[in-house]
Amino acid sequence: MERIDLASLNLEELTEKLREISEKSGVKIEKFRSAQIYGWLTRGVYSFEEMLNVPKNIKAVLDEYCFITLPRVEKKLVSKIDGTVKYLFRLHDGEFIESVFMRYEHGNTLCVSTQVGCRMGCSFCASTLTGLTRNLTPSEILGQVVAAQKDMGEKVSNIVMMGIGEPLDNYDNVMKFLELVNDEKGLNIGHRHISLSTCGLCDKIRQLADEKKQITLSLSLHASDAETRRKLMPVARKYDLDELISSCRYYIEKTGRRISFEYAMIAGENDTHAHAERLGNLLSGMICHVNLIPLNDVKERNYTKSSKKAIDDFVKILEKKHITATVRRRLGSDINASCGQLRAENEKK
Ligand code: SAH
């Protein structure tokens, strides 16, 4: 029998599973135990042994029928400049992922991974260098928040799905994670405090729109014309730019939420005045915001970041077209690790 990943279940599902296990094993598990066990899981334990108020015989059957997936801290880098913390987490099967803990005025934000590796192949990104290994389970996405809170001794109030992986390529598990993280008996983090970033899987953007969740959608655009986007991002060969913009409009229409467009500034590739003009026209009339991100240099990739002047000019042109744009402040620049770099380094060893 396959063992059960308990922390991927909501309280109701957990209660039902415990009932089944009780039946199968002949060990009595009273109903109130499920809330106790659920509590331990959301506070973060690495073994059933740690569940102090659960009797030995129940812990023994839990061990036999279930398993715990909480990520373990393999490596932790702390920025001396702004206190940003970068985690390399080891999963129960020996795979590695990354999360980043950032302090902002509006609260602590955790950037989480949604897959081990990525198969989207963006040409400037370190996360995709060795392709996709596997999806993360709901408990492993949630577990990054639980493990970071436990390690930091601080609450996380905002979550961004901008770590390793493409969240919409792991749709069902990400939706389950969104349900679990929102549970008031669990972490109780509201969807308005959560952003999901995608490279643009159009059919999934439409599906997400129909769910009418209050999360913020971040769209990794990185280009204002079809050709440049195809060159930078293979996903654009499957969904062209018109289709992408139309699915974004659909998302805004269905949810009433504005979209945040991510745009990595790459010298000579997508940062000229012409690119800015086109971007302004493309997004004209949309409820949106543009986030300009000076490219993080990735050793394995052949691009460099735009100059300060190119970025300033870009912002000015967008502003003239009434599109608000901000340049992303770079946290943790001394622990230099754009997402995927720590894992990539670790894989090489
Ligand atoms: N797969 C999702 C989320 C993960 S990447 C997505 O594509 O949105 C999070 C963000 O970092 C994306 O906007 C991505 O395009 C961007 N990114 C990746 N590599 C980068 C780099 N070297 N410099 C700047 N941004 C980068």
Residue 46 and residue 101 in one domain: no
Of 67, 89, 111, the residue at which a domain comes to its end is 67
**Cα angle for residues 326, 327, 332 (degrees, 5° grid):** 135
57 lies in the same domain as 90 = no
Residue 339: predicted pLDDT: 61
One domain, residues 101 and 116 = yes
How high is the pLDDT of residue 338? 60
- Of the candidates 98, 140, 166, 269, the residue annotated as catalytic is 98
Cα gap 304→121, rounded to integer Å: 18
The 10s digit of each residue's pLDDT in 258-309 is: 999 999 999 999 999 999 999 999 999 999 999 999 998 877 778 999 999 9
What percentage of the chain reaches a pLDDT higher than 90? 87
Reported as a single tens digit per residue, the pLDDT across 334-343 is: 786 566 677 7
Mean of pLDDT values over 310-315: 97
Ligand 1 atom closest to the Cα of residue 169 is 1
**Across 62-66, 70-74, 75-79, 126-130, least confident range:** 126-130
255 CB-side CA count, 13 A: 26
Query: Please, which pLDDT band fits residue 7 given cuts at 50, 70 and 90?
Result: very high
The rounded distance, in Å, linking the Cα atoms of 208 and 106 is: 26
Q: Is 339 a catalytic residue?
A: yes
Taking only the tens place, the pLDDT of each residue in 217-229 is: 999 999 999 999 9
Do 105 and 24 reside in the same domain of the chain? no
pLDDT at 17 over 90: yes
Give the other-Cβ count within 10 Å of 262's Cβ: 18
- Mean pLDDT across the stretch 203-225? 97
CATH number at 20 reads: 1.10.150.530
* Residues 52 and 117 placed together within one structural domain of the fold: no
Residues whose CB falls within 8 Å of the CB of residue 285, separated by 6 or more in sequence, listed in order: none
Q: Is there a single domain that holds both residue 222 and residue 78? A: yes
Full 3-state SS string of 102-129: EEECCEEEEECCCEEECCCCCCCCCCCC
Report residue 113's pLDDT band, with 50, 70 and 90 as the boundaries. very high
Residues of the domain holding 134? 72-348
Catalytic residue among 111, 199, 288, 339: 339
CATH of the domain at 327: 3.20.20.70
* Residue 218 backbone phi and psi in degrees, to 5: -105, 130
Place of tokens 């913009």: 245
Same domain, 61 and 82: no
Q: Are residues 205 and 221 in the same domain?
A: yes
Task: Please state the rounded mean pLDDT for residues 222-250.
Answer: 97
- In three-state secondary structure terms, 241 is helix
Q: What is the pLDDT of residue 336?
A: 65
Q: Kindly state whether residues 135 and 36 are assigned to the same domain.
A: no
DSSP state, residue 280: H
Structural domains counted in the chain: 2
pLDDT of residue 236: 98
CB atoms within 10 A of CB 154: 13
User: Does 103 lie in the same domain as 216?
Assistant: yes
* Ranges 234-238, 295-299, 318-322: which has the least confidence: 295-299
Picking from 67, 94, 115, the residue at the C-terminal end of a domain is 67
Better pLDDT: 51 or 346: 51
Beta-sheet strands, E only, within the chain: 4-5, 66-67, 72-78, 85-90, 96-104, 107-111, 115-117, 132-135, 158-161, 194-198, 216-220, 259-265, 288-294, 325-327
CA-nearest residue, atom 14 of ligand 1: 220
Partnered with residue 109 across adjacent β-strands are 102, 158
Of 46, 67, 88, which marks where a domain is finished? 67
How far apart (Å, rounded) are the C-alpha atoms in residues 125 and 98? 14
Q: In the predicted model, is pLDDT for residue 126 greater than 90?
A: no
Whether residues 49 and 187 share a domain: the answer is: no
The tokens describing 206, both together, are: 């439409």
Q: Let me know whether 109 and 257 are in one domain.
A: yes
For 223, 236, 239, 247, the CA distances from 230, given in Å and listed in that order, are 9, 5, 10, 18
Q: Which mutation among 197, 290, 295, 328 tests ligand 1's pocket best, with the greatest number of atoms within 8 A of CB?
A: 197
Which residue is closest in CA terms to ligand 1's atom 12?
A: 220
Pocket of ligand 1 (CB under 6 A): 120, 122, 124-125, 162, 166, 197-199, 220, 262, 264, 293, 295-296, 298, 338-339
